[in-house]
Amino acid sequence: MPPIRILVVDDSIVIRKVLSEALAIDPGIEVAGSAADGNIALAKLPLLKPDVVTLDVEMPGKSGLETLAEIRKQYPKLPVIMFSTLTERGAAVTLDALSLGASDYVTKPSNTGSVELTRARIQGELIPKIKALCKKVPSADLTSETPSKVEQKIVAVPRTGGAARIELLAIGTSTGGPNALARLLPDLTADFPVPIVIVQHMPPVFTRLFAERMDKQTKIRIHEGVEGALLKPGDAWIAPGDFHMKVTGEGLKVKLALNQEVPENSCRPAVDVLFRSVAQVYGKHALAVVLTGMGSDGVRGAMDVRSAGGQVLVQDEASSVVWGMPGQVAAAGLADAILPLENLAVEIERRVKTSRQATQWHTGSSSTQGGVRVNR
């Protein structure tokens, strides 16, 4: 199988050198060329025919955003990974790039203390994303089987009895998630009757800016997660970068809890951490949704939700940027339904509102906290 060809675009000769050396260590990747600015990159694209472009966010002359816009006009399906700084401006421009069609992003390592450590961090984050977006080289983060084989394994775990009243929506996503959420969340109605908790794999600063942007585009209220925040219907909370987010029952209320415990699936925040807490607190009254993303984060959490009697929906392969997270949940037989992104909001609304109209509370051994039956 031929190697994945990369075009590295950055105005810094040092960054171009470090990136090229970091990528060259993988035999499945070939740095086809580099460019010091957007105009040179656009001129090289038809000559080099790369499989992926890494693009600096901030460059003199034609900016990263302007270059990205031109790439999308000429090569709408060419994967583009933005290379941004972990700053407020870098985060804002990166979110702009994602909305313009960038496939993903990597933040530039800072204060590593050595070129070797910088190179290692780039390899650890960038190479898996390149492979996931290209799907040319098997990756440990993705199922190595062909789509046809995966589809043959997708058999949902049988559900006994009717669906319970849904009291919480939990969403997990990674690569491609910002655009998926930007399409899904605005379609939810203003009277959405339950709280929403979300894990989007993003670093600090990025999650706050993303929550602020989404809040302006949706009918529901969207915030970055805060320790002790009380969950209320129609409020959505996005886990802050570098913090795990959980739901926890306190008295008659359910609140958010944040921590910086060890990463799970190399992620913090991790979908598994959130879903596990959702299963513990909400039990069969939870609806979990897994959107586009590389890796396997969310599989164990989805299993916890299903084991507790909750429901699980996943985004389908055709509408996912990377069908890693949702694909593995589906292949494990944990999905109640596999749906295109454009149909998810309608299905979520239908399941939530129908369950609340058709079901009544039952007496039992579990206690009620703020309308939520908390498992003991």
Residues forming the active site? 174, 201, 297
DSSP state letter for 252: T
Spatial distance between the Cα atoms of 186 and 219, rounded to a whole number of angstroms: 6
Other beta carbons within 10 Å of 124: 12
Other beta carbons within 10 Å of 257: 16
DSSP state letter for 18: H
DSSP string for 192-247: --S-EEEEE---TTHHHHHHHHHHHH-SSEEEE--TTPBP-TTEEEEPPTT-EEEE
Asked, as a colleague might, if the bond just before 269 is cis with ω within 30 of 0, I would say yes
Spatial distance between the Cα atoms of 125 and 122, rounded to a whole number of angstroms: 5
DSSP string for 60-106: SSS-HHHHHHHHHHH-TTS-EEEEE-SSHHHHHHHHHHHHTT--EEE
DSSP string for 120-147: HHHHHHHHHHHHHHH-SS--TTS--S-H
